[in-house]
Structure 1
Amino acid sequence: MADVKTASPPPSGASAPGGPRKRRLWRPMIIMVGVVLVIVAIIAGVKFMQISAMIAQSKVPLPAAVVTAMHVPFDDWQPRVSAVGSIKAVKGVDVTTEVGGIVRTLGFKPGQEVADQALLVQLNADSDIALLHSLEATADLAVIVLKRDKAQLAVNAVSQAQVDTDTADLKAKLAAAEQQRALVAKKTIRAPFAGRIGITGVNPGQYLNPGDKVATLQTFDPIYIDFTVPQTQLEAIDIGQEVSVTADGLSNQTFTGRISTIDTQFDPTTRNVTVEATVQNPGHSLVPGMFARALVDSGTAQRYLTVPQTSVTYNPYGTTVFIATAKKNDKGEDVLTAQQTFIKTGPTRGDQVAIVSGVKEGDLLITSGQMKLKNGSPVQINNSAAPLNDPAPTPQEH
């Protein structure tokens, strides 16, 4: 059998076949990748610097928003009950006639102030007066007959029964005369009280039936205002409290009075009670039937931080305002910026609202223009068109 020769392994210090060649191929590839990465890094750095320079050049500070502002003050608030009502005369009546007749004269002019018991209408009463004179003559005769019969009774010329009959006859005739005298008096219609007479449709020569209206007579000073107050505010109302009254068309006038009566029952539908106040009306400016507003002072005055309602923003997540605060900008200059803060509001009156918490006295509060603001927005204050801040505004016509 032939000897088989086994291949011996290469010496330990020798390299594997192809090793030097592979190393020679990897080295330039690694160098190439490194060069590419360096070039990419250089390009990226240059571009980053260019873009940063462009952003820095294009970054312009936001212009300051023009707003109005005020320093928050404390103000006195008088708790009040506000209501609407109607003006009513203290005394008012439709003057009518109790008996029929033809109008002879009118003793007034529409709109005139008349005194108590002043002549308003004179009806024709000639026939009634003539009948009165006849009845008075009959009564005078009855007096004479009674006097004569009493003298005869003294000498027993007539009986006591005759004298009694004469006495009864005299009383009947006097009563008839008095009845006719009252009828004649009814033909003269007089003012039941002093006041102002209204427009009339009655003219001389016109026949008036019993109950026909002559005119309306009403007093104007003092005058009533009736207004309703809800059940929840009844505790703030008491007899004798002062009432301030204003009316449409009389915007520059405020009338004062006092509560005189509170109704004895509530309306079962609205749960309101009617309150009546007596108001001084020396100029007769308030007229029965007018619509008016009543303000009743109740309780002691309170102090609140008071701001215009335009300064408050009501959001689903809370009620906020913007406060202007001073800070340094990048150049070290003092600028005003807007800072939003949450607040809690209290009662309102007119153009104003009370702030219970969230701001303090003296804070520079932005009152308008806050819709374009956010935290940190620069602001510029210009109060040339500041919003209204009136506790009792009135309609303005321009």
Structure 2
Amino acid sequence: MTRKITLLIAGAAVIAIAALASIFAKDDIMAIVTPGAKPGATQVRDAGADRGLPVIAEYASLMDEKTVVEAVGTGKSSLGVSIYPAVSGEVSDVLFHAGDKVTKDQVLVILDSDRERLARDLAALQVKDTQQLLARYEKARPLGAVAESEVDTARTALAQARIELDQAEVNLADRTILAPFDGIVGISEIEAGDRIDSSTAIVTLDNIESILVDFEVAETRFANIRPGQKVRVETWSLPGELFEGTVDAIGSRIDPVSRTFSVRARVPNPDGRLLAGMSFAVYVDIEGKQYPSVPEISVLWGDEGTYVWRIEDEKATRVPVRVVKRTGGRILVDGGISKGELIVVEGVLRLRPGRTVAATIRGSDEPGVAARDDMGEGS
């Protein structure tokens, strides 16, 4: 009997020691998690009050809903033509080399023009002859030696001769092929002595002071793309380099098959590093509405949808929200959250509506200041 009593007393003592150890250990943990807590003692606000549950919170900030539309485009020169002769003939001289920079009205090719020059000279002689005849008729008319009708006929002959001279000048000018604008000439297949006609491509000419990039965008973004909007392009020929430009034009129709519309961007190219025909990755930033931004781990999912815990007067309140966008570890939400409100980030598992909390605020000390400036994501 005595032995049983001794064992019962010993067991009770062990249980009491374990309980005390548990209390002190819990108080030590609370002291570590909650700054200012004293180890070895339980924190009590007032007699009978709930002890605040330690949580980590952060101020909600405002962020723009920014989306990046990505596309693949093809570059073309801002001015680009293939030059053809207006007439047939034999090439007398080629006055350019591939890759040359030429200026407007610079002579590129000269065709044989002996016949055209002779025709021009003959037309000039005919003009001179009819002028002299008209001058004699006008002097003789006051004397009655020439009828008025003959003077009119001479005037008509002079006008006709002048037109024929102008036509001869045009025919002669067609034998000289000029650059229509400033640019860079390509590789030509013609040489002096070749016979060419109006279907023969002499050379390509491109002005690449700026490059036009054509690309397609989904019709769902038609309302978001505007002329003058900033774009960024990257070419696989120059990896790692981004070039900035603007939207230059927008197509007026939606393709019924691909459900896309055409967009053309203009990209400055002062160094001439971008060439017509290059392929480009195109990025267009689309700014959206501003939404409250909270850390990703603060958004929870329940039977009634997504929600966050907001702290008001040291009490936890469950607030339903709608997820708008994820970006860079944060979530843009739409709901009853405003800039500067405290949102629980860690310690959410033990929260209940109306539960008293002791919040440690992380991040910025200024309410409503975003901790980062995210650039958005691709669509």
Q: Which TM-score bucket, shorter chain as reference?
A: 0.5 to 0.7
Aligned to 1:244: 232
1:195 corresponds in structure 2 to: 183
Distance change (3 Å), C-alpha of 1:161 and 1:254: same
Q: Are residues 171 and 205 of structure 1, via their aligned partners in 2, closer, same or farther at CA, if it must alter by over 3 Å?
A: same
Offset of residue 81 of structure 1: 1.4
* Residue in 2 that maps onto 1:287: 275
Match of 2:119 among 131, 134, 152: 131
1:61 matched residue in structure 2: none
Which amino acid is 1:182 matched to? Answer: V
Q: Distance in 2 between matches of 1:83 and 1:93?
A: 26
Aligned to 1:91: 79
Shift of 1:119: 0.7
Q: Tell me which amino acid in the other structure corresponds to 1:110.
A: A
Residue of 218, 238, 242 corresponding to 1:254:
242
CA RMSD in angstroms comes to 3.0
Asked if the contact 2:94–2:109 (Cα under 8 Å) also holds between the matched residues in 1, the reply is yes
Change (3 A) 1:360 1:232: farther
Identical counterparts, % of pairs: 27
TM-aligned CA deviation for residue 253 of structure 1: 2.0
Gaps in structure 2 of 5+ consecutive residues: 1-60, 298-322, 334-342, 348-373
Shift of 1:211: 2.7
* Residue number among 108, 119, 134 corresponding to 2:107 in the alignment: 119
Amino acid of the structure 2 residue aligned with 1:131: A
The alignment of Structure 1 onto Structure 2 pairs a total of residues equal to 254
Q: Partners of 1:290 and 1:239 in 2: how far apart?
A: 22
Q: Which structure has the larger Rg?
A: 1
Partner of residue 146, structure 1? 134
Please state how far the C-alpha of 1:104 moved relative to its aligned partner: 1.0
The match for 1:229 is: 217
Q: How does 1:205-216 map to 2 (within 5 A)?
A: 205-216=193-204
Question: Partner amino acid for 1:171?
Answer: A
Pair 1:362–1:135, CA change in 2 (3 A): farther
Match of 1:176 among 147, 164, 185: 164
Question: Secondary structure at the residue paired with 1:172?
Answer: helix
Are residues 148 and 108 of structure 1, via their aligned partners in 2, closer, same or farther at CA, if it must alter by over 3 Å? same
Q: 1:201 to 1:304 in 2, by over 3 A?
A: farther
**Does residue 160 of structure 1 match 2:148?**
yes
* TM-score normalized by the length of structure 1: 0.58
Pick closer, same or farther for the CA change 1:80–1:306 going to 2, 3 Å. Answer: farther
Taking structure 2 as the reference length, what is the TM-score of the superposition?
0.61
Kindly report which structure 2 residues correspond to 1:285-324, keeping only aligned pairs within 5 A, or say none. Answer: 285-299=273-287
Deviation at 1:252, TM superposition (A): 3.1
Alignment partner of 1:91: what SS? strand
Q: CA deviation at 1:92?
A: 1.0
Counterpart position of 2:26? none
